[in-house]
A = this chain, B = another copy of it.
Amino acid sequence: MFYYQPIKNKEGLWLAEEHYNRRYIAKTESVFAQSNGHFGVRAMLELRGIDATPGMFVSGLYQKAQDGEVTELVNCPDVVELGMYIQGESVNLDNVRVEEFQRKLNLYTGELWINILFRTQNGLRFLLRSKRFAADFEKTLFYHKTEVTLLDGNKTTVTFEYGINGQITNSGTSHFQKTECRVYGKEIMAYHGALQDDGLEILTGTCFEKNQEQQDCSYHLKRRSIYAKNSILMEKGDAITLFRISHIQEDSAECKDVLEEKLEKIQQQLKRGYEQAIANQKKSMEGFCQRAAIEIDGASLQEKAGIAFAQYQMYGMDPAYTNRYSIGAKGLTGEGYKGHVFWDTELFILPFFVAEFPEAARKLLEYRYRGKAGAKRKAEDYGFQGFMYPWECAKDGFEETPLYAALNIHTGKANKVWSGIKEHHVTADIAFAISRYYYWSNDREFLNQYGTEILCETANFWVSRAEERNERLEILNIIGPDEYNEHIDNNAYTNYMAAYNVKLALKASKETLDSPYVKKMKENGTLKVMQEKWQYFLEHIYLPKPDKNGIIPQDDAFLGKEELKDIEKYRQSPVKQSVLLDYSRDEVVDMQVLKQADLVMLFTLFPGLFPADVVKKNVLFYEKRTLHDSSLSYCAHAQICAEIGEMEMAERFFAKALETDLCDNPQDSVDGIHAASLGGIWKCVIAGFAGVSCDEDGIILAPHLLGHWNSIKFSVMVQGQKMDCFMDKENISLHLCNSGKSKEPVTIKVQGKKYILKDDLHLKYGKE
């Protein structure tokens, strides 16, 4: 069930938390986090509360705090907090009675509204209302207006404290080595935090709407922090309004902005006021809204909001201005997975950018090219060739997977994390993503400069990774996407993906003869040798086929394992990974139980790879054994169920996917939203229900609209051109827009037939 209420009104589409429920404090901080690609601020309430988990994250601001630690996205100082004191006692969320409450996020503008009506222990009633946003038009700025009104109670002096709280840590780990705080012009507080390589600069300008409060303001230092203090005598009906603008910027050698200019800009913006700023934000966000718009006639408001939420969050997590960073598993919304980049980015999130913002997609792939040294290093460390991409990486592309995780319930020791050591498919996933970006964009220049090299070197990895056994090439001792089956041989997903990777390399090496990489390989004579090896690999790699029952073995051992008897208990459990509370990791490995989609993932990537009946049979077989303990699972299942026409299941899984962050489980998403699942939602809608995919031959359309959907309307970018799509249960209408240059015709395949789209195309489709 959704915990959040979707609301549609003239200001846009919102998700709202309508009640004050302390169990959801931290979850909603993640879900309503505001990101603009440069930084993300969790949706903390202004008043402190014991369940709060404050967080601000800046794209690319990673650090390994100390030798024994793991590189992670640094949790930055809190600029949102508003301390309130009456007669020396702090007024906080836990010691007031909250009488009315609403926290809501505008999915079009990224604006957050908070209303809290509360009564203090000494009977004063206050209304706190705030509005804030991370600016889209000026990526370093965060705007925040807070109004506090005394509704009831005697005249009283209220002390407000606000500033830059640098005592925030990553769950107890502090990153900033040296902080310097000061005040400029009695108006702007400044924080400089040094990291090993770079650092962070925060400038917070503040003003009250009525100037008299400004004069009583005093500034104070705390450790790592600076704050201002105002004591204001309030009578019933009085409202004070604090407007804060925080400039948040990486303090690196590359940033040459002049301090004076920044201070002046903040001062100007303070004078212009919040309303002017939000007007700018609305205008700025229109571009995103228009490009990404999906109109579904018949969809519930909940579905619409869930889809818009996914798009808003994905847009906000992407550092579109640079190819130096990529997208972490929680975007910029929490400490989860330490901000690391996984295969999730390429397989789940990238498709949205490929289809909607190809220029941003290209940067995300360039990030992988920049990380090639890390991939090379990992291959060397493990005794392989080429590029072996790290399972988790951060800033510079080197392996960052932590070594240990949860406790082993029997031994009392922490379990080893095997993914970093044995989960190798990420390398093929990146190759796959490059092919999809290229097919959608036709960005030949990217392929020449970066893509071909990655494709060839990842192929070289697979060649070295495979072993001769049983007169064929096998990939042994590996982990596939389904992490409940460790140390297995011939994971079907991995083997097929590796083969595709090698195939892509062979093709690219023949077709991009003008690429610097191919030229070089040709010159030094290795190209031919490599191509021969790839050819041999493709001829000999073992690709598991359906057995006599039509089931493709997930790996060599899976079908021989015992079933988990009481599997429904864990499938129904509201707690993720509850099976590990009863069984050790090793015991789980010995049973027919999946954490997440594995072969199903493969089916979603290659729609026509197996006959429809085989796909269906396998989906049903494996789903029964799947706990969906990974947030990557439901969306993949929803997509594949649409493709195999199991629309009832598709609808059910889609609803589950929409709920991944928005459900009423207060524990989910506490440490950040599930970025990949959001990408998966978009994929369900566009690749699954609208049925849009793309391979080397062009765009393929195979709509499977949900039963209650009448039609869907959206646009995608194809070969640099915007293609407007409309589909209802029988018709497909396409329109190619390209206001500037002459249009490139697009090849469209529907139900096996090819069409050429020049301007408009209207087709009927139906049961084959």
Chain A residues engaging chain B, CB cutoff 8 angstroms: 22-23, 48-51, 65-69, 88-90, 92, 94-95, 166-174, 177-186, 194, 218-226, 405-407, 409, 412-414, 581, 666
Question: Given the known A-B contacts A88-B666, A171-B222, are A177 and B67 also in contact in the complex, defined by CB atoms under 8 Å?
Answer: yes
Are A66 and B177 in contact (CB-based, < 8 A)? yes
Using A65-B177, A168-B172, A221-B405 as known contacts, list a sample of 7 further A-B pairs with CB atoms less than 8 Å apart, ordered by residue number in A: A22-B95, A50-B94, A50-B95, A68-B194, A169-B174, A184-B412, A219-B412
The docked-state distance in angstroms from the alpha carbon of A223 to that of B22 is 22
Chain B residue numbers with a CB within 8 Å of A169 are: 167, 169, 172, 174
Which residue on chain B has the smallest CB distance to residue A167?
A: B172
- Complex CA gap A168/B154 in Å reads 39
A49 and B89 CA atoms in complex are apart in Å by 13
Q: Can you list 19 residue pairs at the A/B interface with Cβ under 8 Å?
A: A22-B89, A22-B95, A48-B50, A51-B90, A68-B178, A68-B194, A94-B95, A95-B95, A168-B172, A169-B169, A171-B224, A172-B174, A174-B174, A182-B413, A184-B412, A218-B581, A219-B407, A220-B406, A220-B407
Q: Output the nearest chain B residue to A415 by Cβ-Cβ distance.
A: B221
| Copies of this chain, tallied across the complex | 2
Nearest CB of chain B from residue A454's CB, rounded to whole Å? 34
CB-CB under 8 A from A181, the residues of chain B are 414
Instruction: Name the B residues within 8 Å of A95 (CB-CB).
Output: 22, 50, 94-95
B666 touches A178 (CB 8 A): no
CB-based contact B90/A22 at 8 Å: yes
Contact B69–A414 (Cβ < 8 Å): no
Specify which chain B residues have a CB less than 8 angstroms from the CB of A171 in the assembled complex.
167, 222-224
Whether A50 pairs with B90 at a CB distance below 8 angstroms is yes
Taking a contact as CB atoms under 8 Å apart, the answer to whether B224 and A412 are in contact is no
Q: Which 5 A-B pairs have the closest CB atoms?
A: A68-B178, A94-B94, A167-B172, A183-B412, A66-B177
List of B residues within 8 angstroms of A88 by Cβ: 23, 666
What's the Cα separation between A194 and B406 when bound, in Å?
20
Which B residues lie within 8 Å of A51 (CB)? 90
Please give, as numbers and ranges, the residues of chain B lying within 8 Å of A222 by CB-CB distance: 171
User: What distance in Å separates the Cβ of A747 from its nearest Cβ neighbour in chain B?
Assistant: 51
Which of A177, A194, A406 neighbours the largest number of chain B CB atoms within 10 Å of its CB?
A177
> How many angstroms between the C-alpha atoms of A467 and B67 in the bound complex?
49
Residues of chain B lying within 8 A (CB to CB) of residue A66: 177-178
A456 CB to closest chain B CB (Å) equals: 39
A67 proximity list for chain B (CB < 8 A): 177-178
Measured CA separation A67–B432 after assembly (Å): 45
The answer to whether A177 and B94 touch across the interface, beta carbons within 8 angstroms, is no
Distance between A455 CB and nearest chain B CB, rounded to angstroms = 38
